[in-house]
């Protein structure tokens, strides 16, 4: 291979590496994690899934730090983990709220049964 072609190839390779090194990471990489975190917070994850919420916040902060230090690959991985943790917090929060609602409805049903038994006797509850 002629020397001028080798030099051109080497120069293009260096330019490509320099372009990669100076291209700032895409801030939108964090958007999904931020959205998932907000949804979990709004659903009440602070009360129902505080550990998962804390992990999501920590990973999101670490992702931001990595992005600020031009480590997009690590930042992307941490942002993905933050999103998953936030989604887990949201799912656990919804499950806990559903269990609490079910327990309240069961108490209401028992109270209604007791009122009916008191008013009409046990025969009302027989099928």
User: Kind and range of the H or E element at 117?
Assistant: helix 72-120
Asked if residue 17 has pLDDT above 70, the reply is no
Specify the pLDDT at position 22: 47
- Average pLDDT of 96-105? 96
pLDDT in tens, 56-94: 999 999 999 998 888 889 999 999 999 999 999 999 999
Query: Would you state the torsion angle of the CA atoms of residues 112, 116, 119, 125, taken in this order, to the nearest 10 degrees?
Result: -170
Domains defined for the chain, CATH in brackets:
25-125 (1.20.1270.390)
Asked if residue 40 has pLDDT above 90, the reply is yes
Global confidence as pTM: 0.70
- Calculate the average pLDDT of the chain: 84
- Segments in 23-71 forming alpha helices (H): 31-43, 45-48, 50-68
- Is the four-CA dihedral 60, 62, 66, 68 of positive or negative sign? positive
**Taking a C-beta distance cutoff of 8 angstroms, is the pair 63, 75 a contact?**
yes
Q: Could you give the CA distance from residue 111 to residue 127 in angstroms, rounded to a whole number?
A: 19
Specify the pLDDT at position 123: 66
Specify the pLDDT at position 96: 96
- Average pLDDT of 49-59? 97
Q: 37: phi > 0 → left, psi -120 to 50 → alpha, else beta; which?
A: alpha
């Amino acid at each position: 291979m002629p020397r001028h072609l080798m030099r051109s190839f080497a120069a293009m390779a260096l330019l490509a590496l320099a372009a990669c090194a100076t291209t700032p990471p895409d801030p939108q990489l964090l958007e999904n994690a931020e959205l998932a975190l907000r949804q979990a917070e709004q659903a009440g994850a602070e009360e129902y899934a505080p550990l998962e919420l804390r992990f999501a916040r920590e990973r999101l902060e670490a992702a931001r730090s990595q992005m600020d230090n031009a480590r997009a690959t690590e930042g992307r991985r941490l942002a993905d983990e933050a999103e998953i943790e936030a989604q887990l917090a949201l799912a656990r929060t919804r499950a806990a709220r559903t269990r609490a609602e079910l327990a309240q409805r069961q108490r209401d049903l028992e109270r209604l049964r007791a009122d009916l038994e008191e008013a009409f006797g046990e025969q009302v509850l027989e099928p």
